[in-house]
Chain A
């Protein structure tokens, strides 16, 4: 599953991509150049569900938007987050496919 480091250098990054990467770099205290779109938030960057929620909270602030709970499952990689923002936050994926997927971890 993990597509390991094949830093796909995209020559022209969109403004949204730059902002997402910047927010991510800031949150992870990591060099932005090491944050390739293919990296998975969970496996490659080691974020747990709370950390992903915190990161998306930051993204919501940067882009002044609200990401509904049911979209969380779509956001598995850095690239997913970028695409989500670039597509104007509501990628037209059917809700039915999402309903099957378990949401992120949390309890209590």
Chain B
């Protein structure tokens, strides 16, 4: 019998709030975190095709982190540190009572330390002075900088890994944390998804890839509209989500409060195309099926799906096809929402923030709205999607996360008691 794993702590930094309380309240109220783009490193922005984003506003790292740390780590790592500190506190996890080698960290990050990365590259190419590249450049852009920092911050000496699978990074971080605990290599894992790559170069890249919404530049809050007929691409966001996973026996021993059980994980590749999903959703369906099987749950038991749903034409439709393919008639009876409708696509953070929304939905029996779902699209309609808050005593939640590189992940959460 494999070890059961539960979630005992949550933390979030998002465009609709820093801290789980703020995030959840804003989510239930259906507040949009998408606004006109704020300056990126004083770079002129007029010529960008997309003019909007889900940015974490009024954020001063020094308010949250000790002096000497805040300014020396990249923005995505600041987010990761703030979210995971909240999660550790929320879990009442006292490291002095833990065996350090039994507590690990897995961070999912799609882009990593791009803020400093871009700044230093630009500086070097303009100045031609290699001696002026900041000595902290390498430690910052090394993709595992956040997971290393979290270990140092908390004294977590267990397995320490970084997963980079683009937009599914956060979900894989949770899935791999689950596997680590099940395999007995750790008792507690911090699973974190984080990205903050709204930089002039990365943003330009997503623009020229024509992945972003461009029709709603004048009305930013309407731009992220998963499943809606008028959707026209995703809106870039930034943030971090952190979850404390621990074995059930460990949680019971220390009498931790339990949000939900993390019961299943599916991971596949479509082996198809670097950025285009298979339109039939077949591999997405397989991924969800694997996660359900892993959780010992049948498709007919699924109550709620936190969809990947980025608000792109093809991606959303493929996901609905995948859901229908797997759930058959049950697809008309599940409630579905898209956290990206609120905060945009936070890339590596998306799966982790979506997981937090899923866990809170199970705990509270409330599903946050999918903003801007106004006109169903015949190609990707499900009756359970709504622009309004939905009450549902869901027992089983499924979370999807799909990434560039043909990458798919799915997680299954079960309501606790």
A103 in contact with B403 (CB, 8 Å):
no
A108 in contact with B232 (CB, 8 Å):
no
Q: Which A residues are CB-close (under 8 A) to B341? A: none
Cβ contacts A to B, 11 pairs, < 8 Å: A48-B276, A49-B276, A68-B214, A102-B313, A105-B279, A105-B312, A106-B275, A107-B314, A108-B234, A108-B310, A108-B345
A/B pair count, beta carbons within 8 Å = 76
B49 CB contact (under 8 Å) in A48, A68, A108: A68
Q: How far is the CA of A66 from the CA of B208 in the complex (A)?
A: 10
Closest to A52 in B: B210
A69 in contact with B314 (CB, 8 Å):
no
B 94-122 binary contact with A (CB < 8 Å = 1; else 0): 00000000000000000000000000000
Q: Indicate if B402 sits at the interface (CB-CB under 8 A).
A: yes
Q: Indicate if B200 sits at the interface (CB-CB under 8 A).
A: no
For A69, A102, A103, A107, the residue with the greatest tally of chain B CB atoms inside 10 Å of its CB is: A107
Q: Given A50-B275, A103-B233, A108-B315, are A70 and B167 neighbors across the interface (CB < 8 Å)? A: no
Interface residues, chain A, CB within 8 Å of chain B?
A: 48-50, 53, 57, 66, 68-70, 72, 99, 102-108
Q: Indicate if B277 sits at the interface (CB-CB under 8 A).
A: yes
Q: How far is the CA of A5 from the CA of B150 in the complex (A)?
A: 61
A108 in contact with B167 (CB, 8 Å):
yes
Q: How far is the CA of A48 from the CA of B167 in the complex (A)?
A: 21
Q: How far is the CA of A53 from the CA of B211 in the complex (A)?
A: 10
A105 in contact with B276 (CB, 8 Å):
yes
Smallest CB–CB gap between B347 and chain A, Å? 9
Q: Which B residues are CB-close (under 8 A) to A106? A: 209-211, 233, 275-276, 312-315
Instruction: Summarize A's interface: helix, strand, loop or mixed.
Output: loop
Q: How far is the CA of A41 from the CA of B310 in the complex (A)?
A: 26
Interface residues of B in 45-65 (CB under 8 A from A): 47, 49
Smallest CB–CB gap between A27 and chain B, Å? 15
Smallest CB–CB gap between A13 and chain B, Å? 28
Smallest CB–CB gap between B143 and chain A, Å? 19
B313 in contact with A108 (CB, 8 Å):
no
A72 in contact with B234 (CB, 8 Å):
no
Q: How far is the CA of A72 from the CA of B93 in the complex (A)?
A: 53
B232 in contact with A69 (CB, 8 Å):
yes
Smallest CB–CB gap between B307 and chain A, Å? 12
B210 CB contact (under 8 Å) in A48, A53, A99, A102: A53
A70 in contact with B214 (CB, 8 Å):
yes
Q: How far is the CA of A99 from the CA of B233 in the complex (A)?
A: 13
Closest to B345 in A: A108
Q: Which B residues are CB-close (under 8 A) to A103? A: 210, 232-233, 313
Closest to A104 in B: B210
Q: Which A residues are CB-close (under 8 A) to B230? A: 99
Interface residues of B in 359-417 (CB under 8 A from A): 402-404
B 161-199 binary contact with A (CB < 8 Å = 1; else 0): 000001100000000000000000000000000000000
